[in-house]
Amino acid sequence: MANTNAQLAAVFAQMAAVAEILGQDRFRTIALQRASRVIADLPDDLATIGPDTKALAAIDGIGKGTAERIAEFLNTGRVNDHDELLSQIPDGLPALLDIPGLGPKTIALLWNNAGIESLDDLRAKLEGEQLAKLPGMGKKKIENLRKSIAFAEAAADRVSIGRALPMALWFLGQLRAHKSVIDAAYAGSLRRGRETIGDIDLLVSADTAKPGAAESISDLFVSLEPVEDVLVKGATKTSIRTSDHLQADLRIVPPESYGAALMYFTGSKDHNVSLRQRAIAMGCSLNEYSLSRDGKPIAGKTEQDVYKALDLPWIPPELREDRGEIRLAESDKLSKLIEHTDIRAELHAHTTASDGKWSIRDYALTCADLGYHTVAVTDHSQSQPIANGLSPERLEKHIEAVRAVAKDLADTITVLAGSEVDILADGSLDYPNSLLKQLDVVVASPHHALGQDPKKATQRLIKAIRNPYVTILGHPTGRLITRREGLSPDMKQIIVAAADRGIALEINANHWRLDLRDTHARAAIEAGVKLAINTDAHGPADLGEIIYGTLTARRAGATANDVVNCMTKAALAKWIESSRQ
């Protein structure tokens, strides 16, 4: 299974949190947190290395103790120390760690001083006055906690696309290996590229008339290792839940219905309803088996066939939300959407100078290998001490280091000196203009005070946009999908300010962020504002997140022309220059 690393990273993170709740030695907590981060960032799957303590301890950043626990996990699926820690706190307490803004210290306080042992306890006590009297709690914090719980509950039954897509691809790989499977695909919200996914919809084409064929495919499906519960198992539909709480539906259809079924199960429901009405108006009927006239199927093998029979061009799944795409398709006005292979530049990434895991040079060379012509080095600014943000003095040295690499690699790739400058709570930037002036690219992003009220947040971001040296507004809301709501500025005003200044708004491609979100990106494009799609990479593996950014951009209807990262080298240089005032 491809997510052993993620599972182990979560185990270590939870050990760190529980140790902190228990008030254990701070160094133990820090070591466990570090182990969690190292494991999460490993390029190779630990399961492929196997439970060999020596080989594990040879990995950079993994000590003997961590190696032993990893081996234990690979052997038994559990870590003894983890169970031991959990046994010392009430069963309901770890769930509190999932509430955004609620950390181990506060949880310890709530447990020790207010007897809170579960989310239900917390919810009940939040109704009363008592919690506000605890040291460090206060009215404002209580109010934020209430909001966080509501947000976490609303998000609870959906997962990030970054979790669902790798799992879906893994399932498809297994299913395609079955001899009766002719074709297989994922459908549903995942295929439409939504930022969160309710469940994974898988579709298989097989000779369903052949006795036992469909049954043998569903037998294989339910026997796969990640499957924990089988919810439904029938002739054509099987539903399962994985051990990490993802739900997946598998449907098996004959080849002549594969296109119609793919269309139907890709949705969205509203898009389907509109298409069905169109079919009826044409004297036909449309369902998951086929498009039919007088009860006789006329199309169904491929999606293209069905759309064509409906007198429409094929509509990309990301647009199938019934937001006017059918009208555009009718008049042949669908534009060619951006593809991740159109990306030619990365303009937001971190190196070892702040909290990244690679050198300036490795970053640039990895991007050159991907065919990029330009990269910007944008390490954190001074107000981000946790991320090892650069003081003005360190930034000046860092600029020199970037310039040296740039000179060295001039024939290979253009390396620009930049910074991810923190937007402070009042909208001022974390470096003086005299320093920003020396940079080629300034990505200005909010990182803290993300609970600010919308009006303040709007003023804050507009003030940052108006700084004459800003090139890109980075992850504008600071949200973390299913974890943190982030700022809720008036996006219309932000877009007007960005258009006015000629800067780009970022779609941060990291699957936890996808910030700007699809609808805001669409509004930006309509206002003529350029988008930047950046991965915010901290190491080589992160560059792959670009797919989530381009999916979001496609949902916004973006073409390559809307995105600065798709410009030619010369055009990008010119645009960056023109974005300065």
Residues forming contacts to Zn ion in the complex (CB under 5 A) are: 420, 536
- CA 151 distance to own-chain centroid: 17
Dist CA 580 CA 578 (whole Å): 5
Q: In this chain, which of 20, 121, 195, 201 binds Ca ion, going by CB under 5 A?
A: 201
The closest residue (CB) to Zn ion is 536
Tell me the window of 47-55, 167-175, 184-192, 285-293 that interacts with Ca ion (CB under 5 A).
Answer: 184-192
Are residues 47 and 4 in contact, defined by beta-carbon separation less than 8 angstroms? yes
Nearer to ligand DGT, 245 or 269 (CB): 269
Please list the residues that pair with 223 across neighbouring strands: none
Report the nearest approach of ligand DGT to the CB of residue 272 (Å): 4
Nearest CA among 197, 209, 168 for reference residue 185: 168
Q: In this chain, which of 197, 390, 435, 547 binds ligand DGT, going by CB under 6 A?
A: 197
Question: Which of positions 5-44 make contact with ligand DGT (CB under 6 A)?
Answer: none
CA angle 254, 182, 270 (to 5 degrees): 55
Tell me the window of 122-130, 219-227, 269-277, 534-542 that interacts with ligand DGT (CB under 6 A).
Answer: 269-277
Angstrom CA distances, 534 to 362, 420, 487, 510, stand at 17, 12, 20, 8
CB atoms within 10 A of CB 487: 24
Report the nearest approach of Ca ion to the CB of residue 509 (Å): 22
Residue type, 349: A
Q: Which does 536 bind (CB under 5 to 8 A by kind): ligand DGT, Ca ion, Zn ion, none?
A: Zn ion
Write out the DSSP string of 437-489: TT-SEEEEE--S-TT--HHHHHHHHHHHHTSTT--EE-STT--BTTTB-----
199 interacts with Ca ion by CB under 5 A: yes
198 interacts with ligand DGT by CB under 6 A: yes
How many residues are given for the chain? Answer: 581
Report the nearest approach of ligand DGT to the CB of residue 251 (Å): 9
Dist CA 190 CA 161 (whole Å): 7
542 interacts with ligand DGT by CB under 6 A: no
273 interacts with ligand DGT by CB under 6 A: yes
351 interacts with ligand DGT by CB under 6 A: no
Question: Which of positions 220-249 make contact with Ca ion (CB under 5 A)?
Answer: 249
Q: Which does 269 bind (CB under 5 to 8 A by kind): Zn ion, Ca ion, ligand DGT, none?
A: ligand DGT
Count of positions on this chain that bind ligand DGT (CB under 6 A): 13
Nearest CA among 366, 342, 340 for reference residue 43: 366
272 interacts with ligand DGT by CB under 6 A: yes
Binding-residue pattern over the window 200 to 219 for ligand DGT, x denoting contact by CB under 6 A: -x------------------
Gyration radius of the chain's alpha carbons: 26
Question: Which of positions 229-268 make contact with ligand DGT (CB under 6 A)?
Answer: 264-265, 267-268
Are residues 567 and 530 in contact, defined by beta-carbon separation less than 8 angstroms? no
The torsion angles phi and psi of 237, rounded to 5 degrees, stand at -135, 130
199 interacts with ligand DGT by CB under 6 A: yes
Nearest CA among 78, 13, 17 for reference residue 39: 13
325 interacts with Ca ion by CB under 5 A: no
Binding-residue pattern over the window 142 to 181 for Ca ion, x denoting contact by CB under 5 A: ----------------------------------------
Count of positions on this chain that bind Ca ion (CB under 5 A): 5
171 interacts with ligand DGT by CB under 6 A: no
Dist CA 573 CA 374 (whole Å): 9
Dist CA 14 CA 27 (whole Å): 15
Q: In this chain, which of 64, 105, 269, 333 binds ligand DGT, going by CB under 6 A?
A: 269
Q: Show Cβ contacts of residue 450 under 8 Å, excluding neighbours closer than 6 positions.
A: 477, 478, 479, 484, 485, 486, 487
Report the nearest approach of ligand DGT to the CB of residue 118 (Å): 28
With H, G, I as helix, E, B as strand and everything else as coil, classify residue 198.
Answer: coil
Task: Report the interface residues with ligand DGT, using CB under 6 A.
Answer: 188-189, 197-199, 201, 264-265, 267-269, 272-273
Task: Report the interface residues with Ca ion, using CB under 5 A.
Answer: 188-189, 199, 201, 249
